[in-house]
């Protein structure tokens, strides 16, 4: 928004913050929901550099009612909130901030969003899972897997020593047993395999190693399909995409922000159309 653009403080405002942010599909999803339900609201993407979320939030006018939070600001969102849900604390980061009379309330809809995205595609047993990659997304997804019944998680990291924070986050859930192994050469085990690594890191050997899982959850959605997702589709495995996760967590945010249930299929179709146009 430019300084010359008028501000209607009667219209609730929401947005997604992060850095980088231009690629985000969140505005597409939320705006599609507003249009479908006839809600008067505004949703924008705002670049907020790391280390500046608290000062940015402090400067927002009263028309700002909620923020979606993406990398690298999820831990900062947790720190600035006056109230925090148990699942956001467990994950060590918040992707949702809702304004209240007492300040900002923090939550993490990535966890229930991941559960819903997987259950939409797969309703079979899930006791063991492998997560490829060891960043913040791996932590939140692993905690979601625990809610699906997973009790053992194998975390495959390019540098196992740097996976300590994610492993510790998963270990805070007493239902889980976690082991960390090097990405190269380690076996992929379990009913569910989750890939949180970039497309460029998906080697032929890694793609082949995912063949035994019932479900392949690829958190990347652009470009799509990734090598791991494409191979899974060819094999007939159940495939859950990053767009599925994005839509389900956005639907939950939409309800928190507006008090209305987000129209899942409308928001999904809007995201698919936006991706196809890229």
Q: Which residues are catalytic?
A: 74
Closest CA to 91 of 198, 213, 264, 249: 249
Distance of CA 18 to the CA centre of its chain: 13
What CA–CA distance (Å, rounded) separates 97 from 114? 19
């Amino acid at each position: 928004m430019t300084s010359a653009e008028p501000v209607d403080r009667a219209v609730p405002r929401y947005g997604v913050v992060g850095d980088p942010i231009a690629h985000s599909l969140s505005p597409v999803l939320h705006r599609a929901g507003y249009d479908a339900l006839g809600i008067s609201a505004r949703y924008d993407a705002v670049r907020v550099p790391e280390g500046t979320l608290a000062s940015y939030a402090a400067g927002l006018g009263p028309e700002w009612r909620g923020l979606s939070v993406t990398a690298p600001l999820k831990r900062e969102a947790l720190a600035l909130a006056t109230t925090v849900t148990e699942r956001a604390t467990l994950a060590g980061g918040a992707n949702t901030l809702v304004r209240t009379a007492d300040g900002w309330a923090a939550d993490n809809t990535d966890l229930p969003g991941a559960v819903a995205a997987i259950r939409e595609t797969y309703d079979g047993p899930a006791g063991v899972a492998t997560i490829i990659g060891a960043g913040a997304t791996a932590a939140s997804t692993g905690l979601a897997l625990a809610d699906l019944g997973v009790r053992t998680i194998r975390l495959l990291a390019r540098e196992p020593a740097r996976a300590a924070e994610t492993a510790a986050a998963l270990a805070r859930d007493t239902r889980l047993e976690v082991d960390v192994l090097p990405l190269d050469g380690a076996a992929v085990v379990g009913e569910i395999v989750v890939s949180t690594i970039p497309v460029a890191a998906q080697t032929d050997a890694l793609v082949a190693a995912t063949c035994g899982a019932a479900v392949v959850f690829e958190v990347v959605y652009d470009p799509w399909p990734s090598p791991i997702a494409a191979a899974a589709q060819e094999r007939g495995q159940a495939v859950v995409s990053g767009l599925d996760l994005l839509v389900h967590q956005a639907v939950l945010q939409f309800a928190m922000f507006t008090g209305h249930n987000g129209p899942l299929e409308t928001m999904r179709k809007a995201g698919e159309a936006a991706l196809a146009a890229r």
